[in-house]
Amino acid sequence: MKTVLILGAMGSVGQAATLAFLDHGWRVLALVRERRAASLPEGAVAVTADLFDAAAVAKATGPVDIVFNGLNAPYHRWRRLGLPLHTAAADLAGALGARMIFPGNVYNFGRTMPAELWPETKAKPSTVKGRNRVAIETMLADRARAGRLKVAIVRAGDFIGGANSWMSMLVAKDLKKGRLTAPGRFDTIHAWAYLPDLAETAVRLAESEDRLGDFEVFHFENHNVSMRQIADAAGARVAAFPRVLFHIAALFGPSLRATLEMLYLWDVPHALRDGRLESIIGHVPKTPLPQIMATLK
């Protein structure tokens, strides 16, 4: 039985990955704080060592085949914590001799990004969080080139699922009332990733290890759709969220202030594309959008 270590197991993407690996019969270890161990799904084994002590974690886990890196610093603390957090994760994966699977995002490409984003598209970050993501991916690539780490980045759009996603907190918060809220233009194409589909893709990549190079970047082409298309799929009407309210809300908390620089994502059309992922894992998971939206009602 192969073993995966989930980092960030209590976060939205980490929880989805934990369930997906369990469903595929993997031995699932989850690095969590001791007080959170009881919250893990049945079958997952808690590891309570310190992330920043790779030797201690390796001793606690024993042999591991895959490290799924679902870590994420609080939005307003990316500048300070982002790179150190993921450097520690890279140290750990290297110490274990395990491949890291890391969910990326579109922040790397900035406000001038093209309408179609391919794995070969050059990074051109225009925000603090975009530059942070580029720094993390550069660190991972450098380690892979040096033979110290094997990495597969799966770049995804905004998550559908999980309590802290744009979809849950704003877009679909009133879906039970038949209404969606658009943070931007109704017809702008926006990349989305349904978490169970993304997690299933991660498992299939883990099970295709013999077909992967030391450093791989894939784009998870799940749902590239506009708010109007989402509303049609949900059978709901869509209303605009006034931008001025973002700025007013930002006065009351650092996390809200940290969202302001990312509002361009709702105005600049972008779709994730990939011509190779399917050749590695077979059919790429894609739950129909009406079925996804039904789970949010």
The region of weakest confidence among 26-35, 167-176, 217-226, 245-254 is: 245-254
Domain tally for the chain?
1
How buried is residue 38: exposed, middle or buried, by Cβ count under 10 Å (0-12/13-18/19+)?
Answer: exposed
Give the pLDDT band of residue 74 (cuts 50, 70, 90): confident
Q: What gap in Å lies between CA 138 and CA 87, rounded to an integer?
A: 11
Could you give the 3-state DSSP secondary structure of residue 119?
coil
As a whole-number percent, the residues of the chain with pLDDT over 70 amount to 99
In a domain, 235, yes or no: no
In a domain, 254, yes or no: no
In a domain, 139, yes or no: yes
Question: What's the token pair of residue 177?
Answer: 């009332």
Q: Please, what is the Cα angle at 164 between 158 and 165, to 5 degrees? A: 20
In a domain, 164, yes or no: yes
In a domain, 243, yes or no: no
Strand pairing category for 237-240 and 99-104: unpaired
Question: What's the token pair of residue 280?
Answer: 């590695």
In a domain, 237, yes or no: no
Q: What gap in Å lies between CA 142 and CA 149, rounded to an integer?
A: 9
162 compared with 131, residue with greater pLDDT: 131
CATH number at residue 90: 3.40.50.720
Each residue of 108-144: pLDDT tens digit? 999 999 999 999 999 999 999 999 999 999 999 999 9
The mean pLDDT value of the chain amounts to: 94
Residues 12-31: what's their mean pLDDT?
A: 97
In a domain, 213, yes or no: yes
77 compared with 154, residue with greater pLDDT: 154
Give me the pLDDT at residue 198, please: 98
Question: Partners of 192 in the beta sheet?
Answer: 158, 223
Each residue of 210-258: pLDDT tens digit? 999 999 999 999 999 999 999 999 999 999 998 887 777 776 777 777 7
Full domain range(s) for residue 27: 3-228+259-295
In a domain, 123, yes or no: yes
Could you give the 3-state DSSP secondary structure of residue 163?
coil
